[in-house]
């Protein structure tokens, strides 16, 4: 049973570019959340998707957007990249009705130069 898978594992982009990160949730999970973890910091909540809709959002600008597909997989898009967007981006999945059981992927390391 595959857990949460994220791609790519590493990515290098230039300031001003756009990036798309992908996440496949654990089998049976229907809810996907995204977190940003800057170096030496704890993860910060970006947003959560359920039933293909963004239903909760953290304190992140509109440059951060996402999507959830009918198969529950998800994408995180970041436009107009800034140096400060360099971080580990974590995807977490869960099953609605069992919010205690959150499973994290290994993350995508984004470096903006």
Partner 1 sequence: GDSVTQMEGPVTLSEEAFLTINCTYTATGYPSLFWYVQYPGEGLQLLLKATKADDKGSNKGFEATYRKETTSFHLEKGSVQVSDSAVYFCALSDLMGSTSYGKLTFGQGTILTVHP
Per-residue x/- marks for partner 1, 89-108, CB under 8 A? -x-x-x----xxxx-xxxx-
> Does residue 110 interact with partner 1 by CB under 8 A?
no
Residue of 21, 23, 33, 81 interacting with partner 1 (CB under 8 A): 33
**Which residues partner with 88 through β-bridges?**
37, 109
Euclidean distance between CA atoms 49 and 4, whole angstroms:
15
Nearest Cα residue to 80 out of 36, 35, 19? 19
Euclidean distance between CA atoms 73 and 97, whole angstroms:
18
CB of 112 to partner 1, least distance (A): 21
* Footprint of partner 1 (CB under 8 A): 4, 31, 33, 35, 40-45, 48, 50, 55-56, 58, 90, 92, 94, 99-102, 104-107
């Amino acid at each position: 049973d595959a857990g949460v898978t994220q791609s790519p594992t590493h990515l290098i982009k230039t300031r001003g570019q756009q990036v798309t990160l992908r996440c496949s949730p654990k089998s049976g999970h229907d809810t996907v959340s995204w977190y940003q973890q800057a170096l030496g910091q704890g993860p910060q909540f970006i947003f959560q998707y359920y039933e293909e809709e963004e239903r909760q959002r953290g304190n992140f600008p509109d440059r951060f957007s996402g999507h959830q597909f009918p198969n529950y997989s998800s994408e995180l898009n970041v436009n107009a990249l800034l140096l400060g967007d360099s971080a580990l981006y974590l995807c977490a999945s869960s099953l609605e009705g069992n919010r205690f059981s959150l499973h994290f992927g290994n993350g995508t390391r984004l470096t903006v130069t």
